[in-house]
Amino acid sequence: MNCKAKSFPLLVLFGLSLFSCKKDTPSPKASNILLIVADDLGYADMGSFGGDIETPNLDELARQGIRFSRFHTAPFCAVTRAMLLSGNFSHVAGMGSQGLVTGVPGYEGRLSDRIIPVPELLRNAGYHTYIAGKWHLGGMEGANPADKGFEKSFVIQEEGGANHYSEKGIFPEFPVTLYTENGAQVKWPDGAYSTDFYTDKLIEYIQSNPKDGKPFFAFAAYTSPHWPLQVDSTYWKKYEGRYDKGYEVLREQRLVSLKKAGMISPNAQLPPLHPRVKPWDSLSPEEQKKEARKMELYAGMVDNLDYNIGRLIAFLKETGQYENTLIVFMSDNGAAAEDFFYHEYYGPFLQENYSDALEDMGKENSFVSYGPQWAEAGSAPFLYFKGYTTEGGMNAPMIIAGKEVEGKGSINSSFLTVMDLAPTFYELAEVSYPESWQGKARKPLAGSSILPLLTGKQDLVHDSTYVFGLEHRGNAMLRKGKWKLLNTTTPLEVKNFGLYNIETDLSEQQNLKDLYPEKFQELLLEWEKFSKQVGIVTPTPKAGEGLNNQNIKP
């Protein structure tokens, strides 16, 4: 059957599955969609969110759109990307555990055939679909962006991170980083810097079909500011000396500035630092200098990222496409705390191929990360950081702007998840989500369109009965209304869950399971249902399968 899909905004809003119709030609005024994802950007980094890093282009985007203060991703890169491009829970989408590749449903290490990838459905509906940057959703046959609906693509084939200047690998399993363009292996261009090049490539793709009347879905999947911290001195020198007082002071400063920006409650408090963080005063002067340089480099990478986002927006304006483009900017998880240079597994390879000397920091031959100490400042005021199912690992920044957006310059504190973006794109494109695809039944969307919220027609997307859960290598959470189950202890056992009221305890410090036993039991029952619904297990890799250790929390 081949017919135009109709718009069902109310049904799409509640994530229901509809009969499949192919829409060959989008409506004349169909909106373009520009999805920009920063890699490991902290909640408290951008200027409009209360950060001290110079982000004028993102700040202007915030003035033209809405900042979302309670937007939730997954705690790891690949898991978020699977949920983002499916509109479904991570296990349903095939990425129940980042890096784990098995034959067990939920742990395939690639986008599963239980979902329909966003680019595939949009392309079928008449959209051009482009991606440049990080894929991280499987390097095996059939898992490339070219196999998942992207018309044009230039991506890191499999790894979760890369040298920002060359093909020089950063993981023992991949001594040379592999890239593909439109599914075919290609070389990294000499002298190119990742964020600059991905911006060039995406502009090139959008320009390749300028007058055919079709809208585009363009995914700027940047690898910045993901480690290794590398950027030209033009960008980091302006921050020299800014962080000499240390990460504890920066964390305190950001608590104040976040409150001033309206991103957190005036009553918010900082939780205790992670046990891995060494007090700044315990470091030697030499160690402090290196630590400050790490943050200077990180700030420089964010500065460069903002510059390139400005280039994308300027291009859209120059070509007359800006007014008809919905722009979504987000980070893929909380601030990153991995620091692998002296790690038992990664360290030997990195030390053999890279330097962490002060004089080399920021260059192509340098490998440094800003670690848990600076990540605590990046995730302020939340508990912990990337890798954890705490708010610090999952509450990420998001800005949305476009002609559909009312309330420009406002802050929205509604509880949202990354799964809500796919239904939003479908409603915007007037595309229905089918019950079956290519002869196979597909799971219904788990997210809900936020378009009615953007247009001011609704105040909330999810009511107090909505259940959102996630498990990743034993770290687990489940949210229902203002209540949250949380476990950060492995192996995962029900007795280790705590109960928190996120409305009054943003830093997750008051375990209320003994004070509210009935509510605790209610959420435990929801957890049991959720676990069965999505298929949470602990698979053991079979022969020929394995665990790719990249990005695993030490």
Locate 551 and state its tokens.
């990005």
Give the C-alpha separation, 49 to 259, whole Å. 9
Contact 108, 198 (CB under 8 A): no
Contact 228, 369 (CB under 8 A): yes
Give the C-alpha separation, 267 to 505, whole Å. 9
Which residue is listed with tokens 């900042």? 67
Residue 337 Rama label (left phi>0; alpha psi -120 to 50; beta) = alpha
Residues 6+ apart with CB under 8 A from 50: 44, 254, 257, 258, 259, 260, 261, 263
> Looking only at Cα atoms, what is the longest distance across the chain?
70
Is 77 labeled as catalytic in the residue annotation? yes
Q: What distances in angstroms separate CA 189 from CA 51, 166, 179, 201, 407, one per listed residue? A: 33, 8, 11, 11, 42
Measured at the CA of 36, the angle between CA 35 and CA 40, to 5 degrees, comes to 135
Strand order in the sheet with 498-501: 467-472, 475-480, 483-487, 498-501
| 3-state DSSP of 28-64 | CCCCEEEEEEECCCCCCCCHHHCCCCCCHHHHHHHHC
Q: What distances in angstroms separate CA 473 from CA 184, 389, 480, one per listed residue? A: 33, 10, 22
Catalytic residue among 72, 77, 128, 462: 77
Contact 374, 335 (CB under 8 A): yes
Q: What percent of the chain is helix, strand and coil (3-state, nearest 5)?
A: 30, 20, 50
Give the C-alpha separation, 54 to 304, whole Å. 10
Catalytic residue among 72, 91, 128, 136: 136
Is 164 labeled as catalytic in the residue annotation? no
Handedness of CA 364, 340, 493, 271 (dihedral sign): negative
Question: Annotated catalytic sites, by residue?
Answer: 77, 136
